[in-house]
Amino acid sequence: MRTTSITGRRAAVLGSPIAHSLSPVLHRAAYAELGLTDWSYDRFEVAEAQLPAFLAGLDPSWAGLSLTMPLKRAVIPLLDAVSGTAASVEAVNTVVIDGDGRRTGDNTDIPGMLAALRERGVTAVESAAVLGAGATASSALAALSQLCTGPVTAYVRSEARAAEMRGWGERLGVDVRTADWSEAADALTAPLVIATTPAGATDELAPRVPGRPGTLFDVLYDPWPTALAAAWSAQGGPVVGGLDLLVHQAVLQVELMTGRAPAPLAVMRKAGEQALGAHRS
């Protein structure tokens, strides 16, 4: 982490598609609150095939990058170093660039998930369920390795995905069991349910939310609330949303890229809420 201030620094979020990203809103709000008036944060549409050329074209003003799909794994061979956290799930969502141009990959999604859950008072659970089996699901398993003392059941749509999740469990030291998506309603009785699926995928489960449910962590933030999150709240269950994750992982990115800590969590959350509110109106 940098400990000295360097003027005129740049950062950005890369991915495809990227127009929807709230990262510029969050990071710019942090820069303004921290007095980093000479820092800028942008977004760039970058596909996997374009990533090597983009990185090669960065000049010394660049301090860091946020990465979204489909770049989180593709970037790894292009880096000088990768943190243990990122290596554990083979996914980098943060690149810190030092004064010599050295690129270090990290993953703030995993600690961001843990921070978002801690904020809602979830520090340990005896079991959990994960809906889905994509890249976010592997990060969820990594987070659960630090707070779940018992089995985690992953609900997936194919045996190939099931095998993949069991493999991640072995790698991360999590007792992962798998079940077919047709049984996904069974997940809703777990003390902690992490939904990592695309928009609309869990809508069919909303009518099946039990009375007095545990905690739901739905990683989506737009549209929000999802049908599942709304039904969960209606039954009195605590809900952690995608904006909570986005803000907490962005806080860590700001700290890594700027060397300034703590980043202004409340300011960044308010900026994100306002941007989403404007988008929906």
Question: How do beta strands 40-45 and 10-15 pair?
Answer: parallel
Helices (H) and strands (E) in the chain, counts: 9, 12
d(CA 265, CA 23): 13
207 burial (CB, 10 Å; 0-12 / 13-18 / 19+) is exposed
Instruction: Please pick, among 9, 28, 72, 103, the residue that the annotation labels catalytic.
Output: 72
Q: For the chain, how many residues are written?
A: 281
d(CA 15, CA 240): 25
d(CA 175, CA 152): 6
Identify whether 270 is a catalytic site residue: no
57 burial (CB, 10 Å; 0-12 / 13-18 / 19+) is exposed
Q: The tokens 């194919």 sit on which residue? A: 158
DSSP per residue, 174-221: --EEEEEGGGGGGGGGSSEEEE-PPTTTTGGGGGGPPSS--EEEE---
d(CA 119, CA 206): 24
Phi-psi region of 81 (alpha: psi -120 to 50; beta: other; left: phi over 0): beta
Catalytic residues: 72
